[in-house]
Structure 1
Amino acid sequence: MRSSLFAALPALAPLVLIALAGCTQSPDAYPSLLPRPIEKQSLAEPERVAAVPVPDPALDSRIAALSTPLAANSQKFAAAAQDAEAKIAVARGVAEGSDAWLDAQTALSTIESLRAPTLNALAQLEEIAIERGKAGEPPYPALDAVIAEADGMAKAQDMRIAALKAALGGE
């Protein structure tokens, strides 16, 4: 059986070579080295036109409703902070649990509770800004200004509370 297979090989060789010749390409059919259409597209970020915010009376009224109490609350906080400062000055050096120390702690609790409306208003203002961002609306300058003002108040109140706590006993 093997000898008959070897005898048939010389006869099959031209058929195999003809079949292999069909798999080759012509020598002048190389791929082009020119840029392909996809390579001609720019990947640069397109220029975006800055959106101009349109005046919104409803938003202005919401901003005013949230920003008006901020000034009044800031005045209440300042008055309570002065009271707390006076009570802390009396309580300095006094044993914990004494009447003066308890009065100072109560004053600190009062100013911490007066900080809550500022934080609440700030959170509501930031929520409005987030809603506008989710809707794809441009930044609203009046809203951004009130948020910056409320954030500044909250940070100042926090620093004042921290200073008073440190003056009382390093809490």
Structure 2
Amino acid sequence: MTYRMAPALMLLFAAGCSAGGRGYPSLAVRPAEARGWAEPATPPPAAVVADPALDAQIATATTALAGNGRDFDAAARRAAPLVGAARGQAAGSERWIAAQSALAELDAQRAAASDTATTIEDLAGSRAQTGLIDYPALEAARGQATALLDREAARIKALQATIPAG
């Protein structure tokens, strides 16, 4: 009996697959496709408005940053002969300890510069949180702070590389 019903079931299923008079979807351009894919024009950036209070804070921070750089350079000049004397010395020797102390002073000087850089970053962060555009003097100060910290880190690393690790 199941073999006799198979052709009838196949006809029933085939009828379900017929088009039903709806036709095929249109291949015409749809409204979403007609808009195009080009980026919208961006408005020109707003003009930077002078901020005397921010300028004063930036001046204070950059002055402190310059002082940090001078202090670090002086400490590096003092550390260089001590590190030179520790070359080839065993870790734990007196010369090695003196060099490590000088390097610790350099780290402390770099930490002071890092504090000043953090102050500058805080100023930039506060400005960004309020939705204001970049302030050129502040961006210049951030660049100076980053360059100083990178230079100091490279100087410490170069001096540390010449003496044995503890």
> Shorter-chain TM-score category?
0.7 to 0.9
Q: Which residue of structure 2 aligns with residue 118 of structure 1?
A: 113
TM-score w.r.t. structure 1 length? 0.74
Number of residue pairs aligned between Structure 1 and Structure 2:
146
Does the alignment pair 1:78 with 2:46? no
Aligned partners of 2:58, 2:98: CA distance in 1, in Å? 37
The normalised TM-score by structure 2 is 0.76
- 1:167 aligns with 162
User: In the alignment, does 2:52 pair up with 1:51?
Assistant: no
Mapped partners of 1:93, 1:37: distance in 2: 78
Q: Which amino acid aligns with 2:154?
A: M
Deviation at 1:117, TM superposition (A): 1.6
Aligned with residue 34 of structure 2, among 23, 29, 40: 40
Q: Deviations over 1:34-82 (max 9, x none)?
A: 5444443345332221222111111111111211111111111001111
2:124 corresponds in structure 1 to 129
Distance 2:145 2:28 in 1: 60
What CA distance in whole angstroms lies between the structure 2 residues aligned with 1:106 and 1:144? 35
Query: Does residue 147 of structure 1 match 2:142?
Result: yes
Q: Distance in 2 between matches of 1:56 and 1:121?
A: 20
Unaligned runs of 5+ in 2: 1-19
Overall identity of the aligned pairs, in %: 38
